[in-house]
Structure 1
Amino acid sequence: MRDLPDDEEWTSDKLKAIGERVRAERRRQGLTQDQVWQAARIDRRTVQNVEAGREMKVSTLLRIAWVLEVSPADLVR
């Protein structure tokens, strides 16, 4: 079992990486943020926050993964 690092920066780095993967996949598919938030039935700001690497709910990530037709694990990896 691993101990957590002394600082919380590692969580911020992980969230940013997830956001970058979401943005990259959305763009790869030629989708706009508007298309994603409408299809996922979430708030526009929520998609912006996810892509910016801010705190996100697992349920939000699941919805976005569903819309993008990718595994949530691919976004989190």
Structure 2
Amino acid sequence: MPTLPDDDEWLLHERRAIGDRIRVTRITQGRTQESVFLAARVARSTYQHIEAGTADGRIGTLMRIARVLGVHVTDLLRG
């Protein structure tokens, strides 16, 4: 059976990857963080932590962010 990376290390890597995909999508569209978090009805600090990869986003929050960015939530979750 293959060994799995340390849970904390893996989770941190995945959070950062999701945040990076959100940031790249947002910047590609020429949008500010403020325009996204306001349209998605997400608190500024929550959005900033998700995009920075320092916090988990609830699925509903990620779905709202994805909708505002015009992508499917799976596009944010896939690597």
TM-score by length of 1: 0.89
Residue-pair matches, total: 77
Match of 2:40 in 1: 40
Which letter maps to 1:25? T
Q: Is 2:61 the counterpart of 1:56?
A: no
Task: State percent identity of aligned pairs.
Answer: 49
| Alpha-carbon distance in 2 for matches of 1:4, 1:60 | 28
Q: What is the deviation of 1:8?
A: 1.9
Runs of 5+ consecutive residues of structure 2 not aligned to the other structure: none
Which letter maps to 1:14? E
What is the RMSD computed on CA atoms of the aligned residues?
1.8
Which letter maps to 1:41? R
Runs of 5+ consecutive residues of structure 1 not aligned to the other structure: none
| Alpha-carbon distance in 2 for matches of 1:6, 1:34 | 34
| Alpha-carbon distance in 2 for matches of 1:6, 1:51 | 22
Q: What is the deviation of 1:5?
A: 3.9
| Alpha-carbon distance in 2 for matches of 1:59, 1:7 | 23
